[in-house]
Amino acid sequence: MTITYKPIAQEYLSAVKTLNSVIFPVKYHDRVYQDALACGPVSQLAFEGDTLVGAILCRLEALPGGAAQLYIISLGVLAPVRGAGIGSQLLAASLACCEHDTAIQRATLHVHTANTEALEFYSRKGFTVTETIAGYYKRIDPPDAAVLVKQLQPEEQQQQAQQQQDA
């Protein structure tokens, strides 16, 4: 199996919407896809030949003090090709886009609390659960979400970036 990775582009949005409808129990609003498209290469796609088999959709969000965070909207891989490292590669590519931008201090996402496979995946990748939000999802039972965070910049680098912005 040969997998190729590409940044998200307008021409793939229809396929990404179809992929997400197959993988996830929630329907994403069109605005989500436009946000991911606007943020460029932090959103990545995985293809086997011409078939889209995985995607990570992200957006950049402002934090207080001029900092930013990478918000992972979704990361999904079709069931027949799971376990081949595609999700790990997609996540790594998105995080790599943020490495040299000290303003992007962390990556964060919400995960359905019943999705133990995803919780374990993100834990292995250095994410920690920081809180649980009761009633986050409207059409999923249980409706709760775990908030996961991974710091992308060392603490001293975050402080230096903050001091430069305050100067």
Give the orientation angle of helix 30-38 with respect to helix 13-23, to 10 degrees.
Answer: 120
Integer CA distances (angstroms), 110 to 131, 136, 147, in order: 10, 9, 5
- Is the CB of residue 47 less than 8 Å from the CB of residue 3? yes
Strand ranges in 78-156 using DSSP code E only, listed in sequence order: 104-112, 128-133, 145-151
Residue 113 Cα to chain centre, angstroms: 17
**Tokens in use for 17?**
């919407």
Cβ-count burial 14-24 (b if 16+ within 10 Å, e if not): eebbebbeebe
Catalytic sites, residue numbers? 71, 110
